[in-house]
Copies of this chain bind each other. A is one copy, B any other.
Amino acid sequence: MCQAIGRTLWAIAEGYIPGHSHGPSPQLESHETVCILNTGELEAHLRITVFFADREPAGPYRLTVPARRTRHIRFNQFEVPEPLARDTDYASVIESDVPVVVQHTRLDSRQAALSIMSTIAFAGG
């Protein structure tokens, strides 16, 4: 398995980092995650741009995913060029120089029991 699977442009229209959590951090802290799988033989260089309702986009946030590796990155860990506000609607676009697969997940622990959701991202190109 060394074939590069996926696409080079992905979009996730939903994004929201709950401002509260219930349970031990970091595992059960409320978070949104972008899961990236790079099955190929080349390191993937990614640029993530974050869109908002009422201001210009933030980013790009730069990441690398080594060959034959996966990275599950929490949006609340983004720091450069700026951290993301909590309790704020956003969306994201992921650009890669090699094909990758992108899946989106949220864990929400604002109330007494956590809830999780997931969807494949939109493959734009």
Interface check A114, CB cutoff 8 A: yes
Q: Closest B-chain residue to A48, C-beta based?
A: B1
A5 to B13, CA, bound (A): 11
User: Which interface residue of A28, A101, A124, A125 has the most chain B CB atoms within 10 A?
Assistant: A101
Cβ B105 vs Cβ A117 within 8 A: yes
Residues of chain B with a CB closer than 8 A to A105's CB: 14, 117
CB-CB under 8 A for A51 and B72, given A101-B91, A101-B122, A119-B119: no
> Which residues from chain A sit less than 8 Å from chain B, CB to CB?
1, 5-6, 9, 11-16, 22-23, 27-28, 33, 35-37, 39, 47, 49, 51-54, 56-57, 59-60, 68-72, 87, 89-91, 93, 95, 100-106, 108-125
